[in-house]
Amino acid sequence: MTIPYNIDTNVPTLGIPKINSPMKSLVNDPKSRNFIPDTKRVLISVISDDFTEVIKSGFAPLSFEAAGPREKIFFDPSKLRCALITCGGLCPGINDIIRSIVFSLYFGYGVRNIYGIKYGLQGFIPEYGHDFIQLGPSAVVDILTRGGSILGSSRGPQDIEKIVDSLERMNVGILFMIGGDGTLQAALNIADAIIKRGLNISVVGIPKTIDNDIFLVSKSFGFDTAVEIATSAIRSAHTEAIGYPDGIGLIKLMGRYSGFIAVNSALAQQDVNFVLIPEADFDLEGERGLLKALENRLSSRKHAVIVVAEGAGQKFFGKNQKKYDASGNIKLYDIGSFLKDKITQYFKDKNINIAMKYIDPSYMIRSVPANANDRVFCSFLGREAVHAGMAGKTKLIIGHWNNCFVHLPMEASVGKRKSVNTEGRLWRGVLEATGQGALTNW
């Protein structure tokens, strides 16, 4: 991801924290060695192709405020009310985040008034009639083994002023929002409306995208689990492909605009011969197109495995009228079924009898519980979100850089997207592992 040097990385606060943190007794730290000062920074990168260009730009190397517990907090835990909300598509690890936030608030800070908002932003709107859920240790202790979200979710925008009205009526001090780019945009709008009203409500975002494509977020929760499950699909496709003469395994994976799951899955399970992602153009026809390359592969090895990200190859659907979902996302055309039909017809016309097996594990991947690595990651994300909120920080999301958790200003990330660099190490690794070459005629 290309990152400009002049990003404003300052995180807003509601005021000066003046209350001694109860975390001091929890961590048994009389000398405050485990508390993080606001002056501690984390460099975004320790590598520069040409550091002189950074110096010439007039900016210091980009860094973010380190996350972690502060010695002084803004909110009085005995009077504080917190709310949690999950929005958008499902993703492994959401329940882990919820549990971590609740446990950190309850046991770390002594907060007793914690509310779960049902069904996304709809839960704030009275007309929908969704109930709030009282959250405590007993309500979340066993949710790690469950996929999805115990709070449910929904898509689509809601009236920002009504949402703030609801927060004000509930006397909420910290709002934790777990969601993707659309949710984080809503969080930014909510935070701006709160500031406009002069309210002391902190808004903390935990970025959620199974595609791992949120700008300035090096890793998103659920991605590790998604890659692990996707590799199982690849193994199955490979087993099917080698079991028949001219067998083809075709797997469609998530990745609307960024092909990180497809790329990492192919590298983790190196039985893949072709990887198709939104960032790398490819042709079907012609001497260097996919169909001819696939024919050559079958001729030499008698089997092939293809992984395609859902957002790849949208150019093949022409100028058909675009449709949008409730969240304003463009509804993608089904590249998986399209390729299945095109490949089948191509070899039928050549009187080559292929054995095609098509696998789409997308919803199975989205709904499974997080794996061990993601659970560890989620537990940290939840705690760091609580520490930030209790310190009175707002309009931020929790990110991860150079093995450190950091505070990212929402405005620096929202509305932008991270993508696979087709001239970078990751894509080069795919080309070396598959040998597919450039699948274009130009």
DSSP string, 68-126: S--SEESS-TTT-EEEEEE-SS--TTHHHHHHHHHHIIIIIS---EEEEETTGGGGG-G
Q: What is the pLDDT of residue 1?
A: 55
Q: Are residues 332 and 402 in the same domain?
A: no
Inside any domain, residue 256: yes
Decide: residue 195, CB within 10 A, 0-12 exposed, 13-18 middle, 19+ buried: middle
Q: Confirm whether 265 is domain-assigned.
A: yes
Same domain, 340 and 399: no
Do 391 and 315 share a structural domain? no
**Least confident window among 243-252, 318-327, 356-365:** 318-327
> Does any domain span residue 429?
no
Residue 426 lies in a domain: no
Give the dihedral sign, CA 381/73/141/113: negative
Percentage of the chain lying above the pLDDT 90 cut:
78
Which CATH number is 306's domain given? 3.40.50.460
Per-residue pLDDT tens digits for 126-142: 999 999 999 999 999 99
Last-in-domain residue among 308, 339, 367: 367
Identify the band that residue 20 occupies on the pLDDT scale cut at 50, 70 and 90. Answer: very high
pLDDT at 316: 94
Q: How much is the average pLDDT of 205-230?
A: 92
The confidence score (pLDDT) of residue 319 equals: 72
Q: Quick check: 254 pLDDT over 90?
A: yes
Residue at 423 is within a domain: no
Where would I find the beta strands (DSSP E) of 310-403?
355-359, 396-401
**Residues 302 and 393 grouped into a single domain:** no
pLDDT tens by residue, 330-368: 789 999 999 999 999 999 999 999 999 999 998 889 999
| 321 lies in some domain | yes
Q: Which of 92, 90, 159 is nearest to 121 (CA)?
A: 159
pTM: 0.91
Give the pLDDT confidence score for residue 256 in this predicted structure.
92
Q: Are 211 and 332 in contact (CB under 8 A)?
A: no
Q: What DSSP element (H or E) covers 64?
A: strand 63-66
What digits encode the pLDDT tens for the residues 75-93? 999 999 999 999 998 999 9
Q: Could you tell me the pLDDT band of residue 2, with boundaries at 50, 70 and 90?
A: low
Q: Given the DSSP bridges, would you call strands 19-20 and 72-73 parallel, antiparallel or unpaired? A: antiparallel
Amino acid at 368: V
Q: Residue 13 in contact with residue 396, Cβ under 8 Å?
A: no
Cα-Cα-Cα-Cα dihedral sign, residues 187, 188, 193, 198: positive
Q: Which of the residues are catalytic? A: 211
User: Are 212 and 230 members of one domain?
Assistant: no
- Residue 341 in contact with residue 195, Cβ under 8 Å? no
The gap from C-alpha 265 to its chain's centroid, in whole angstroms, comes to 16
Q: Could you give the CA distance from residue 335 to residue 348 in angstroms, rounded to a whole number?
A: 20
| 142-156 confidence digits (pLDDT tens) | 999 999 999 999 988
Q: What pLDDT, on a 0 to 100 scale, did the predictor assign at position 307?
A: 98
In the chain the first and final C-alpha atoms are separated, in Å, by: 25
Structure-token pair, residue 302: 């008698």
| pLDDT tier for residue 415 given thresholds of 50, 70 and 90 | confident
Highest-pLDDT range among 212-216, 322-326, 339-343: 339-343
Domain residues for the domain of 304 are 225-367
What mean pLDDT is reported for the chain?
91
Residue 408: CATH number of its domain? 3.40.50.450
Residue 13 belongs to a domain: no
Which of these ranges, 26-35, 131-140, 197-206, 229-238, has the smallest mean pLDDT?
26-35
Distance CA 22, CA 6 (A): 37
Name the token pair of 207.
């970025």
With respect to residue 137, please indicate whether it lies within any of the assigned structural domains. yes
Residue 393 in tokens: 């920080």
Q: What is the pLDDT of residue 43?
A: 85
Name the least confident of 20-24, 117-121, 164-168, 180-184: 20-24
Domain total for the chain? 2
Residues 212 and 237 in one domain: no
Residues 267 and 314 placed together within one structural domain of the fold:
yes
Cβ neighbours around 269 below 10 Å, total: 20
Tell me the C-alpha distance between 55 and 28, whole Å: 43
The Cα-based distances of 260 to 84, 161, 209, 378 in angstroms read 28, 36, 11, 19
- Asked if residue 212 and residue 229 are part of one domain, the reply reads no
Q: What is the pLDDT of residue 32?
A: 59
Q: Is the pLDDT of residue 179 over 60?
A: yes
**Contact by Cβ (8 Å): 254, 238:** no
127, 259: one domain:
no
| Domain identity same for 88 and 137 | yes
Rounded mean pLDDT, 298-311 = 97
pLDDT tens column, 359-404: 999 888 999 999 999 999 999 999 999 999 999 999 999 999 888 9
Can you point out the beta strands (E) in 137-200? 174-179
| pLDDT one-digit tens code per residue, 30-60 | 555 689 999 999 987 655 544 455 555 555 6
Question: Which of these three, 303, 335, 367, is where a domain ends?
Answer: 367
Of 202, 198, 95, give the one whose Cα is nearest residue 145: 95
Of the pLDDT bands very low, low, confident and very high (cuts 50, 70, 90), residue 63 is confident
Are 208 and 252 in a shared domain? no
DSSP reduced 3-state for 244: coil
For the residues 94-110, what does the mean pLDDT come to? 97
Q: Verify that 297 and 176 share a domain, yes or no.
A: no
Percentage of the residues of the chain whose pLDDT score is greater than 70: 91
Rounded to an integer, what distance in angstroms lies between the CA atom of residue 154 and that of residue 86? Answer: 8
Which residue, 340, 367, 394, sits at the end of a domain?
Answer: 367
